Chain A
Amino acid sequence: MSDLLLALGVFAGSFGIGYLLISRVPPQLHTPLMSMTNAISAITILGALLLFSVEMSPGQKAVGALAVVMAIFNVVGGFAITDRMLGMFRERSRKS
């Protein structure tokens, strides 16, 4: 049970830090923010990889493999599309 409490503490702390940091992201970057955090949320791929570290049934393997495909699609696609978008944001000197 103390493990759970510790985990809850980690969650609350990270949520707080995230809230403070992300409040400072300007509206113009909100779409890249979404697609980047999207990719970060696919961190769940670690959970999918861990499934394969122990012996498992074919059914479990299929579930695990599907999870890996979906998550890595999200990771690669999410970061790549964010990079593509951010590459388009350009500042030029303001004309008077």
Chain B
Amino acid sequence: MYFIEHLIYLLSALLFVVGLKQLSSPATARRGNLMASFAMLLALVVTLVQYPPITWTWIVSGIILGSLIGAVAARTVKMTAMPEMVGLFNGFGGGASALVAFAEFLHFLKDHTPQASLAEASTIQLGMLIGAVTFSGSLVAFGKLAGWITGNPVTNRFIQTVTALLFVATLGVGVYLVLGEPTLPLFLVFTAGALILGVLLVNAIGGADMPVAISLLNSYSGLAASAAGFILGNNILIIAGALVGASGMILTNLMCKAMNRSLANVMFGGFGVEGATAAAVGAEGKTVRSVDAEGAAMILGYARSVIVVPGYGLAVAQAQHDLKKLCDLLEERGVDVKFAIHPVAGRMPGHMNVLLAEADVPYNKLYDLDEINDMFPDTDVALVVGANDVVNPEARNPKSIIAGMPILDVDKARQVIVMKRSLAPGFAGLDNPLFYLDKTFMFFGSAKPSMQDLVRAVRELS
């Protein structure tokens, strides 16, 4: 039986890997997800058969309760609420790993042999540390993304010092728990330290830097599962956790690169105060050209090619379906419509893709930064909807704070229409010279009603 158990664990690990591989194309991705969920089911069943619980009541009621909540949440959540949902799931995974570490510590207190205790104790502390940081950090991320707490970074010298001291102190307690005498109260102190650390770390990250924070927490949730695997000496946990850890790490790197910032800068830089040092460059004396729905409809309706640049504002306003209507109308008029997707547009990796997929925009109309930038000079109109910093030409100015950030070259299109509520700067607190170009028309108003007006106006064109 031991042999069969391990064979099935191996099979399940392989299915996780193959499932992830299927994710390299949208055509096979859904099958990949099914494979991975089957792998999970397999691992669950084998574990329950091989190590039958002494009482089934707790497990069965726990599984029914958790599955129900999970299934209902997955069914009903709006696509625009996806970022906070991912944050919540992250937190629960990390929390579960922390609880496993906690329960194992209680076992460990009862019967530990001195020779085995070193490795075991240190893996338990590690599991608890990562799990607890993931849990509390993800809940803060959830709160920020759902708008329950401020999206601004909460950080200053004092908080940074406290965070650093707390980190050292928590590690110190952890080391004492391993090398000294392990006691429950001390372990609770250690746990509390890790939880507070998670809150402080994520609270210091601004709303617009959330794609990085979410990816990093994603990685941590995997590492927490791996750590639980180390505690239990269970390979499938280690393998699955490592796969997730790697995935989150890749996404974290990509997001940092897309902002041309280091991870340390994102985590401790306190970037992203929305509207903080407004108009650092100074909007005085510069004029913008504004346009109404009819004017914008004329420009778009008589263009040959349009590139739409969606940003977080589109998601906030939930205007994706109206945008899709507009694009359909334009295509009926023979306009070529493409979408340009910046890697950090939105609040999580791939946010805009999901949003537009929900509005039934086919994915072959969506282009990455590298693919689309060469096309702007041959494009009649770039339509910017709720995006700001990802199209700010200031990034080409070596003296700017966003210098070197890869941007979408919308200013190279023949004309630009920017749909925006006001001239307020984006997360970088930086004025956007794009708005003052001769070729730029500002279409002020909140995205949804503006988009609906625009759809109406295009329909009325002869």
Contact = CB atoms under 8 A, between A and B. Distances in A.
A associates with B: yes
Contacts of B23: 22, 25, 29, 32-33, 36
Interface string B18-53: 011101111101101110110010011001100111
Contact of B244 (A38, A73, A89): A38
The 9 A-B residue pairs with the shortest CB-CB distance, nearest first, are A77-B70, A30-B350, A18-B246, A72-B66, A80-B74, A76-B70, A52-B53, A30-B349, A68-B62
A1 B123 CA distance: 12
A60 B24 CA distance: 41
Nearest to B16: A40
Given A67-B100, A80-B71, A37 B244 contact: yes
Contact of A21 (B20, B27, B37, B238): B20
B380 to A, nearest CB: 16
A70 B63 CA distance: 9
Nearest to A90: B362
B244 A47 contact: no
Contact of A38 (B26, B93, B238): B93
A33 B22 CA distance: 11
B329 to A, nearest CB: 14
A71 B16 CA distance: 17
Interface in B203-222: 214-215, 218, 221-222
Interface residues of A, number: 87
Nearest to A15: B242
A33 B225 CA distance: 17
B90 interface: yes
A43 B232 CA distance: 13
Interface of A: 1, 3-4, 7, 10-19, 21-57, 59-61, 63-92, 94-96
B341 interface: yes
B366 interface: yes
Contacts of A90: 357, 360, 362-363
B74 A42 contact: no
Max chain A C-beta neighbours (<10 A), residue from B40, B54, B247: B247
Majority SS at the chain B contact face: helix
Contact of B103 (A25, A64, A72): A64
Interface in B387-432: none
Given A21-B17, A28-B366, A11 B226 contact: yes
22 contacts: A7-B233, A11-B239, A15-B246, A18-B245, A18-B247, A22-B23, A25-B20, A26-B25, A33-B23, A36-B32, A40-B244, A43-B237, A44-B97, A47-B228, A47-B237, A49-B47, A63-B106, A71-B96, A77-B73, A81-B82, A85-B79, A85-B82
Contacts of A3: 119, 233
Contacts, number: 370
Given A37-B244, A73-B70, A74-B96, 10 more contacts: A19-B249, A34-B348, A36-B33, A38-B89, A38-B218, A48-B96, A49-B48, A50-B234, A60-B106, A94-B365
Q: How large is the interface on B (under 10, 10 to 19, 20 to 34, 35 or more residues)?
A: 35 or more
A17 B66 CA distance: 31
Given A21-B20, A75-B40, A43 B357 contact: no
A8 B332 CA distance: 58
B93 A91 contact: no
Identify whether the interface residues of A are mostly helix, strand, loop, or mixed: helix
B331 to A, nearest CB: 6
Contacts of B97: 44, 47
A25 B24 contact: yes
A14 to B, nearest CB: 4
Contacts of A24: 21, 24
Contacts of B30: 83, 86-87
Given A47-B237, A50-B47, A18 B242 contact: yes
B102 A63 contact: yes
